[in-house]
Structure formats: structure tokens, C-alpha cells
């Protein structure tokens, strides 16, 4: 059984995020979406160990500088609750291996990320990252792949979110 704990990282370089277009993995809940890189914890791993392993497995890169930005709780009908440790990273070594088993990796200018096929909740935390929000706790509730509730630091937010929330 997969761990309910995951990591997700947005690696930054030259005003771009490394994004993965999830088009290769069978039975993928993220099929067709663009997301950062990461995955499920393995037995005994800390968030940082999971982050470093997943980034290395999916990209070939070794992170040398990263920041824990928040925790995201996903609740979706018919699925177990997932708790995601969200990171950004701004330094790494190695060469990007674009042949990832789960999707296609591309550097996307940050201002263009919003034009991609994203989960609605990802837009919420990407906005928080862009605004350099302090460490946050975000709960996203989905019904039939539609975001129905968003709770930021214990405060419900109206959907769709506005710039002022």
C-alpha cells in the first residue's frame, strides 16, 4: 500500500519551473496534467529524503538547495486522504534526463505555467509560491475532479479564489 505522504517540488531556474506533463504512466490520477516532480514516501523516509530521491529518480538532478514551503492536504471522493510536503528548489547538480517514465519534463516560464492544464488546487498553491507566502497549510477538497473547498491556514476561502484572499 502506498504511503498517504508525498512530496512535490517546483525546481526553479532562470525564471522557469521544471514541469512534468503526465502522459506516460498507466492509471494515473494526474493523466494529462502538468505538475512538479515528486512522489510517495518509502518506508522510513523523512520528507527531505523522499524529496531528494524522487527528484533524482524523475529528473536525474541532485538538489543542493531547497525550501519546505507548505503542507497540502488532499481530500477527494473515493480516494484516501493525501498529505503532500510542498517544496521549491533553486540549485542542483547533474544533467536533466528528459526521458522520465511518468511524463515529459519541460522548463516552463513561470508566467506561462497558468496557461497549462493544471489541477485547480495547484493554481492555488502555485499562487502562494509566486507571492512567496510564509509556510502554509492548505486543504483542498475535490468532488468528481472539481475543487469544492479550499482551506488556507484553517480559514475557508471562497471559490474561485480572488487575488485578495
Query: Could you report the per-residue pLDDT of 92-133, keeping only the tens digit for each?
Result: 999 998 777 778 899 999 999 999 989 999 999 999 999 999
C-beta separation of 119 from 33 below 8 A: yes
Give the predicted TM-score (pTM) of the model: 0.90
What is the tens place of the pLDDT at every residue in 60-71?
A: 999 999 999 999
Q: What is the mean pLDDT of residues 137-148?
A: 93
Instruction: Sketch out the chain's domains with CATH numbers.
Output: 5-118 (3.90.79.10)
Amino acid at each position: 500500500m502506498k504511503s498517504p505522504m508525498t512530496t512535490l517540488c517546483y525546481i526553479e531556474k532562470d525564471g522557469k519551473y521544471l514541469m512534468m506533463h503526465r502522459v506516460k504512466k498507466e492509471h494515473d490520477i494526474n493523466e494529462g496534467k502538468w505538475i512538479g516532480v515528486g512522489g510517495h514516501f518509502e518506508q522510513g523516509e523523512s520528507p527531505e529524503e523522499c524529496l531528494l530521491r524522487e527528484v533524482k529518480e524523475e529528473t536525474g538532478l541532485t538538489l543542493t538547495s531547497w525550501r519546505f514551503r507548505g503542507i497540502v492536504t488532499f481530500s477527494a471522493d473515493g480516494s484516501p486522504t493525501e498529505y503532500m510536503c510542498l517544496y521549491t528548489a533553486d540549485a542542483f547538480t547533474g544533467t536533466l534526463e528528459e526521458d522520465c517514465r511518468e511524463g515529459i519534463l519541460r522548463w516552463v516560464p513561470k508566467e506561462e505555467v497558468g496557461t497549462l492544464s493544471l489541477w485547480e488546487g495547484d493554481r492555488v498553491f502555485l499562487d502562494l509560491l509566486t507571492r512567496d507566502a510564509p509556510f502554509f497549510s492548505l486543504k483542498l477538497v475535490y468532488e468528481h475532479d472539481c475543487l469544492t473547498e479550499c482551506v488556507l491556514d484553517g480559514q475557508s476561502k471562497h471559490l474561485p479564489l480572488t487575488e485578495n484572499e
